[in-house]
């Protein structure tokens, strides 16, 4: 009895630092975001006015918010689908095929990931430059130099896809390395027997590789949701500042604008709450939708 | 085994204690929270109490005891050195005062964390219209000190009142009296005329006349287009605030301009406002094709470069432009030219928006009396000369005489008949989701690219104006 109590005291003492850190840096701030979303507050003074759900009511009628919502969803979907497809293909090729300089490609693909987003933005603004940019110069070879340049960052219908391209370029290497790590643990014997039974490479990929790394793929889906929301803010901030005329405004950039530039901190926090619930909900849905029986090997 | 347990327990406890101590330190001066690890906090509170008494004592016998004045200043294009020089001069003329100076290009990021914790600077030099909008936020929250008595103060070391030293007109604007009620909250500091920059060399080379009316402007636009030169470009849509203010004032006079700035009902749909909207839309047709793609924080210098490369003729900007582009390559024979915006109405006067930075005292400042003294000192000849050395020109009569070269040309714009337009939108309580400058200026990108019509733009501005009017006190 006495020993049992001493044991639980010991356990409590050991987990205390982590629990305190978690409470101070995660629970309290999150709770505060929820609390602040119910106030009208500019961020500095002591005049906080409790307004209930008024901030959310305004949010439901704010067309600019819906535009940022649309843009964010578009980014999440496009970036996730394309990045996942490409990095799975590259991972499969690099881990299953015997290519010269495998490690070299691995490093090359991973480099964008260690660059800061600001650097990537600078690279892409050079690529997208309407007059001397890489992209327009290459396209110019085919469509003739006299055509009006394509405004990658100026055309409101195009600009969001310009962001998508930059984000995909940045993300591929990271996910490729993650998929390669789990592909490496798939036993070679499975492929050998598949070879004997006459399965082609594509069939092997879909029947052996993909099912066996499925747990890993599911985990990365949650990563995709979170990182698309977070990184899109950095890209927008550095590359387009939400422009032209709000065409690339995303969740967090709009939240930032409202909370700081527009002095509506409470409203910004209300957007924060929506983003929180949205990313939580989306991750849960994605997780449920991709649930499969776990395959052991 | 047992020893291991004891050691791990002690380690864990030490970590917890260290954590708590860390929290105690960061709580700063929240006097009402007696935490277990409050040794720190308590110490600070004790220190603070006598400081407050000290301030009171100072009010009776100024500048005798030691006191610290916390000054936070935005480091703009003029550099940071002039601030340390002014601070040193202030200390020299006010014995016992130590100026604690914070100068930074991102001043908001430096001072706002401690401000949120209740530790405010005594004097802040930070203009309105910046992205982080700290000045606006404090204004909207009624957290500024009225400067009415500063204007009545005598300039330290001189026998003139502050308000008599400031150039007339600078104190009657919404950029100094943000609530539109005649009470001054911002002291006008360095000003800069905004207008259209061009390559004077290009005009000489081609034998063109600098246009003085919009008719001549469009004619020039057509002539230049034939040679592959666009009439107009802009760095980012942010510069359309100055442009719109000037043209609004030129279209309807200063009363009309003030009505626009105070969101009068229907004013944005009036005939005069329509003229301005349509003028900008027409200018959009003459805008260089790639401008919109580069009109962001990363690439705006590419738009400014168009002027240096003779690819576009005019670019709206402030007097800091030549400094900003000083190292950029340029066409042979390039020479900066600067003019006011042509009159909107036939026969009217040209106009130029006069942009100026502001200095203010937070209502929560500890050392308010010395802060007021500091603001008054800014208008002394001594301070003005230090600032003028870095080409930072205050609205004090005669100060622009210190200027040389290009700067002389820029500041002489009002001597050549252009009307000075000053002010900006009146402060309101924050309205969620409504941003007037974004609606008014940001939309220009959509007008130029043809994504929105003038009617849609005008309706959106009027709608924003309606919402803001409701929030005015």
Higher pLDDT, B265 or A43: B265
Q: What integer is the mean pLDDT of A57-86?
A: 94
> What is the model's pLDDT at position B33?
38
Higher pLDDT, B409 or A221: A221
- pLDDT at residue A144 greater than cutoff 80: no
Q: What integer is the mean pLDDT of B433-450?
A: 93
Domain ranges of chain A: 53-289
- pLDDT at residue B29 greater than cutoff 50: no
Bridging pattern class, strands B195-199 and B312-317: antiparallel
Q: Is A211 on the interface with B (CB under 8 A)?
A: no
Contacts of B442 in chain A (CB under 8 A): 243, 245-246
Contacts of A131 in chain B (CB under 8 A): 290
> What is the model's pLDDT at position B59?
44
Question: B351-386, pLDDT tens digit by residue?
Answer: 899 988 999 999 999 999 999 999 999 999 999 989
Q: Is A23 on the interface with B (CB under 8 A)?
A: no
> What is the model's pLDDT at position B56?
43
Residue A226, preceding bond cis, omega within 30 degrees? no
- pLDDT at residue B28 greater than cutoff 80: no
Q: What integer is the mean pLDDT of B39-56?
A: 40
Q: Vertex B331, ends B325 and B333: CA angle to 5°?
A: 105
pLDDT band of B64, cuts 50, 70, 90? low
Percent of chain A with pLDDT strictly greater than 90: 71
Best residue in B9, B16, B234, B432 for a mutation probing chain A (most A CBs within 10 Å): B432
Give me the residue from B16, B23, B112 closest to A16, CB to CB. B16
* Interface A:B, Cβ pairs < 8 A: 160
Best residue in B143, B293, B464, B473 for a mutation probing chain A (most A CBs within 10 Å): B293
Question: B292-332, pLDDT tens digit by residue?
Answer: 999 988 889 999 999 999 999 999 998 888 888 989 999 99
Q: Is B6 on the interface with A (CB under 8 A)?
A: no
Least Cα distance to A123 among A166, A82, A171 occurs for A166
ipTM over 0.95: no
Q: Is A151 on the interface with B (CB under 8 A)?
A: yes
> What is the model's pLDDT at position B401?
75
Q: Is A238 on the interface with B (CB under 8 A)?
A: yes
Mean of the per-residue pLDDT values for chain B? 86
**C-alpha to C-alpha distance for A177 and A113, rounded to whole angstroms:** 11
Q: How far is CA B377 from CA A116, B66, B102, in A?
A: 45, 19, 18
- pLDDT at residue B40 greater than cutoff 70: no
Q: Is B298 on the interface with A (CB under 8 A)?
A: yes
Q: What integer is the mean pLDDT of A203-215?
A: 92
DSSP string, A122-153: HHHHHHT-TTT-HHHHHHHHHH-TTSPPP-TT
* B333 touches B204 (CB < 8 A): yes
- pLDDT at residue B432 greater than cutoff 60: yes
- pLDDT at residue B411 greater than cutoff 90: no
Q: Is B60 on the interface with A (CB under 8 A)?
A: no
- pLDDT at residue A145 greater than cutoff 70: no
Please judge whether A244 and B290 are an interchain contact, meaning their C-beta atoms are less than 8 angstroms apart.
no
Assigned CATH class of A53-289: mainly alpha
Q: Is A20 on the interface with B (CB under 8 A)?
A: yes
Question: B86-133, pLDDT tens digit by residue?
Answer: 999 999 999 999 999 999 988 999 998 888 888 899 999 999 888 788
Which domains occur in chain B, in start order?
A: 64-192+356-404 (3.40.190.10), 194-353+409-471 (3.40.190.10)
- pLDDT at residue B24 greater than cutoff 60: no
Ranges B92-106, B384-398, B415-429, most confident: B92-106
Cross-strand bridge partners of residue B420:
B352
Contacts of A20 in chain B (CB under 8 A): 16, 19-20
Contacts of A156 in chain B (CB under 8 A): 446, 449, 451
Nearest CA in chain B to A247: B446
Structure tokens at B295: 């009109």
- pLDDT at residue A170 greater than cutoff 60: yes
- pLDDT at residue B63 greater than cutoff 50: no
Give me the residue from A10, A24, A241 closest to B297, CB to CB. A241
- pLDDT at residue A1 greater than cutoff 60: no
């Amino acid at each position: 009895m006495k020993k049992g109590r001493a044991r639980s005291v010991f356990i409590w003492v050991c987990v205390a630092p982590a629990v305190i850190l978690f409470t101070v840096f995660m629970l309290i701030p999150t709770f505060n975001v929820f609390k602040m979303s119910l106030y009208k507050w500019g961020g500095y003074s002591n005049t906080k006015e409790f307004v209930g759900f008024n901030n959310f009511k305004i949010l439901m009628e704010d067309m600019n918010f819906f535009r940022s919502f649309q843009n964010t969803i578009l980014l999440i979907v496009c970036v996730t689908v394309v990045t996942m497809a490409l990095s799975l293909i590259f991972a499969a090729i690099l881990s299953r095929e015997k290519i010269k300089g495998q490690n070299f490609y691995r490093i090359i693909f991973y480099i964008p990931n260690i660059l800061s987003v600001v650097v990537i933005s600078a690279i892409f603004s050079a690529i997208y430059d309407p007059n001397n940019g890489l992209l327009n110069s290459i396209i110019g070879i085919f469509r003739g130099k006299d055509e009006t340049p394509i405004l990658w960052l100026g055309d409101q219908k195009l600009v969001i896809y310009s962001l998508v391209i930059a984000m995909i370029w940045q993300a591929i290497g990271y996910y490729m390395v993650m998929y390669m790590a789990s592909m490496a643990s798939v036993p070679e014997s499975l492929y050998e027997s598949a070879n004997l039974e006459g399965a082609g490479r594509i069939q092997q990929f879909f029947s052996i590789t993909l099912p066996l790394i499925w747990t890993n793929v599911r985990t990365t889906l949650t990563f995709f949701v979170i990182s698309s929301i977070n990184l899109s803010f950095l890209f927008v901030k550095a590359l387009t500042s939400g422009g032209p005329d709000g065409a690339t405004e995303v969740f967090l950039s709009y939240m930032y604008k409202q909370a700081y530039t527009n002095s509506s901190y409470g409203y910004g926090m209300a957007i924060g709450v929506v983003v929180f619930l949205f990313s939580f909900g989306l991750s849960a849905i994605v997780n449920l939708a991709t649930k499969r029986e776990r395959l052991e090997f | 085994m047992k020893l291991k347990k004891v050691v791990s327990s002690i380690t864990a406890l030490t970590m917890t204690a260290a954590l708590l101590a860390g929290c105690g330190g960061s709580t700063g001066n929240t006097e009402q929270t007696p935490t277990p690890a409050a040794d720190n906090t308590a110490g600070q509170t004790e220190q603070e109490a006598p400081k407050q008494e000290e301030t009171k004592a100072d009010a009776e016998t100024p500048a005798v005891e030691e006191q610290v004045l916390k000054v936070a200043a935005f480091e703009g294009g003029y550099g940071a050195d002039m601030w340390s020089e002014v601070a040193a001069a202030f200390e020299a003329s006010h014995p016992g005062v130590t100026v604690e100076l914070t100068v930074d290009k991102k001043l908001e990021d430096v001072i706002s964390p401690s401000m949120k914790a209740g530790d405010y600077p005594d004097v802040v030099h930070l203009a309105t219209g910046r992205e982080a909008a700290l000045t606006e936020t404090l204004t909207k929250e009624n957290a500024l000190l009225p400067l009415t008595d500063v204007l009545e103060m005598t300039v330290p070391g001189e026998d003139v009142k502050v308000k008599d030293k400031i150039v007339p007109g600078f104190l009657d604007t919404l950029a100094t009296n943000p609530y539109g009620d005649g009470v001054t909250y911002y002291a006008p500091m360095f000003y800069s005329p905004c207008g259209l920059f061009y390559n004077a060399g290009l005009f000489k080379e081609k034998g063109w006349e600098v246009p003085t009316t919009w008719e001549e402007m469009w004619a020039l636009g057509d002539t230049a287009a034939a040679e592959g030169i666009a009439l107009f470009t802009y760095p980012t849509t942010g510069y359309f605030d100055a442009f719109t203010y000037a043209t609004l004032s030129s279209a309807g006079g200063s009363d009309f301009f003030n009505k626009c700035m105070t969101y009068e009902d229907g004013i944005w749909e009036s005939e005069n406002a329509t003229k301005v909207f349509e003028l900008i839309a027409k200018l959009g047709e003459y805008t260089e094709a790639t401008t919109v793609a580069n009109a962001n924080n990363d690439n705006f210098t590419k738009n400014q470069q168009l002027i240096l490369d003779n690819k576009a003729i005019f670019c709206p900007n402030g007097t800091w432009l030549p400094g900003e582009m000083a190292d950029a390559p340029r066409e042979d024979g390039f020479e900066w030219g600067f003019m006011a915006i042509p009159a909107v109405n036939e026969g009217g006067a040209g106009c130029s928006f006069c942009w100026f930075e502001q200095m203010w005292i937070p209502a929560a400042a500890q050392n308010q009396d010395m802060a007021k003294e500091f603001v008054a000192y800014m208008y002394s000849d001594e301070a003005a000369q230090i600032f003028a050395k870095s080409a930072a020109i205050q609205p004090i009569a005669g100060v622009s005489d210190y200027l040389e070269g290009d700067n002389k040309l820029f500041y002489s714009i009002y001597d050549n008949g252009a009307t000075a337009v000053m002010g900006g939108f009146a402060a309101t309580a924050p309205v969620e989701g409504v941003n007037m400058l974004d609606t008014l200026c940001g939309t220009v990108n959509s007008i130029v690219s043809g994504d929105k019509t003038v009617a849609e733009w005008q309706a959106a501005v009027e709608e924003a104006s309606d919402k803001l009017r409701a929030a005015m006190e």
